[in-house]
Structure formats: structure tokens, C-alpha cells
Amino acid sequence: MAAGNITLTMIKPDAVRKNNIGPILGKINEAGFRIRAMKYTQLTKAQAEAFYAVHAERPFYADLVAFMTSGPIVAAILEKDNAVQEFRKLIGSTNPKDAAPGTIRQLFAEDVQNNAVHGSDSDENANIEADFHFAKTERF
């Protein structure tokens, strides 16, 4: 099956608090992604729990939900050939200690929880996550 051309990102509350929306969007643009949808919003507890439901049994889930609702985020649908894999390459490993030089997490993340950005992990989840954040009328 051909790789999909969209992925879903969130600029997380830690990066928003540090005034890094602009620099992170700059990296995304430089890497050749096109912005198909974008919003500045704050997740409710119910929304964060639903978005990360796959991690519900993990020990970090409650802290993750608290963190993701602690301030506003920027959600966006990004388009590029092979978007999911290309974006995971651009953001680097979950733990910034392991993230390659020049990746968004290496540059902007604090630690494994406060790691600056989200990126979808599969084409299927990219579509689910895009639908989670955006109505059809909000996509261009």
C-alpha cells in the first residue's frame, strides 16, 4: 500500500509556553510540509484522554493527560509524500536524549514527557487524529 500524504501534529504545551510555535513551524516549513489545517486550542481532560486512549494502561498516562491539558496547543494537518515517516524523522525520538541532532525534539524538547511535538505513528492513526481535531470544513 502506498504511504499516505498526511500526518497530524500538535505543538505541545511546553513548546507553546516557551514561545516556540514560530521556530517549530519554521522547521516544518523548511522540511517541505504543507499546512492543510491548523488551530490554536486547549484540550479538555476528556479530549486528552480520548486522544491518548491507546496509552490508557501505561504508567505515564495520567501525567500525560495532565501535561497535555496544562496549556494551549497548536494542532495541524501536514501534507508531504510519505508524511508520517518523514515527520517522525523530522521530530526525532520520543525521549529528546535519544533524538538525532537537528530534530525538533533535540532542539526544543525538555524531557520524555515535555517533548515539544506530537506526530502520528501510522497512516491509519494520522487519519483518525486528523478527524479528531478538524472538521472537513476546516481543511484546505
Residue 118 is among the residues annotated as catalytic for this protein: yes
Residues 24-83 interacting with ligand CDP (rule: CB under 6 A):
55, 60, 64
40 contact, one of Mg ion, ligand CDP, none, CB 5-8 Å limit per kind: none
85 lies in the site for ligand CDP, by CB under 6 A: no
For residue 140, count CB atoms less than 10 angstroms from its CB and return exposed for 0-12, middle for 13-18, buried for 19 or more. exposed
Q: How far apart are CA 24 and CA 88, in angstroms?
A: 14
In whole angstroms, how close is the CB of 34 to ligand CDP at the nearest point? Answer: 22
Pick 55 or 139: Cβ nearer ligand CDP: 55
Residues 97-136 interacting with ligand CDP (rule: CB under 6 A):
112-113, 115, 118, 121
SS3 96: helix
Closest listed residue to residue 43, CA positions, set 77, 13, 63, 6? 13
Annotated active-site positions, please? 118
